[in-house]
Amino acid sequence: MQIKKDEVKNAIIKSGEKEFLEKGYEKASIRKIVKQAGTTIGNFYNYFDNKEALFEVLVKNEYDKFIYFIHNHDKIERPDYLWQISNPSKWRVVLSELLGKVVPNFGIGLIILLDCSEGTKFANCKNELVNLIKNHFIEHMEKYNKEYSSIEIGDIISEQLIDGIIKILRNNNNPDLKHKLITEYILFYMIGTMGLIRDFNF
């Protein structure tokens, strides 16, 4: 009997993942979730108090990692010395190695957390990450090019960077391709930032 209950609960979770990923939290329908799971609304409430409780099950692991990263990112070893190097090929090697430890953790739960959580208590996660990247952009510009006057561009750059990574994650299931594309994408932004830092004098 317990196996049967676990199967029903897991079917609801899997169906919820698909529904949230396609429609986001606000437009997701419990009725459609249970229909796709082959069960009933009554059964849904045997396992989850409401739609947000199901959503939380799907993103809890990613959210815990996210909070840890936000609070501890300054302790993570970053290859800041790359800003002193003019050869993008060397950046690619170091960046690929660094991301090799991180990208495998980028799964569907992270997409749902960052891109599908409007209407939940997790809705601000994407903005927090955007602000973190923006602050690092400002930090580098102030450190390496104090005369740069368009610092506000950091808002746009940071948001586009996160949106691009989310799109790569949505459209690519192959781990190696996902790793390669994210590496190239971040490298693109690093080269652009380096151009601003050095006034395009590579």
Neighbouring C-alpha atoms within 13 Å toward the C-beta of 131: 6
Q: What is the structure's pLDDT at 80?
A: 60
- 1 vs 4: CA distance, rounded Å: 5
Q: What is the structure's pLDDT at 202?
A: 44
Q: What helix, strand, coil percent values describe the chain, rounded to 5?
A: 80, 0, 20
Sort 117 into a burial class: Cβ within 10 Å, 0-12 / 13-18 / 19+: buried
pLDDT tens digits, 106-155? 889 999 999 999 999 999 999 999 998 898 888 878 887 777 778 888 89
What are the DSSP calls for 148-195, one per residue? ---TTHHHHHHHHHHHHHHHHHHH---HHHHHHHHHHHHHHHHHHHHH
Of 3.40.50, 1.10.3470, 1.20.1630, 1.10.10, the CATH number of 1-48 is 1.10.10
Distances (CA, A) of 63 to 59, 109, 151, 166: 6, 9, 30, 16
Q: What is the structure's pLDDT at 99?
A: 80
What are the DSSP calls for 53-69, one per residue? HHHHHHHHHHHHHHHHH
pLDDT tens digits, 92-105? 888 788 788 777 77
Per the prediction, the chain carries an average pLDDT of 86
Identity of the residue numbered 195: G
**CA-wise closest residue to 162 among 202, 106, 93:** 106
Give the model's confidence band at 199: pLDDT under 50 very low, under 70 low, under 90 confident, else very high. low
Give me 37's structure tokens: 């799971």
- 131 vs 125: CA distance, rounded Å: 10
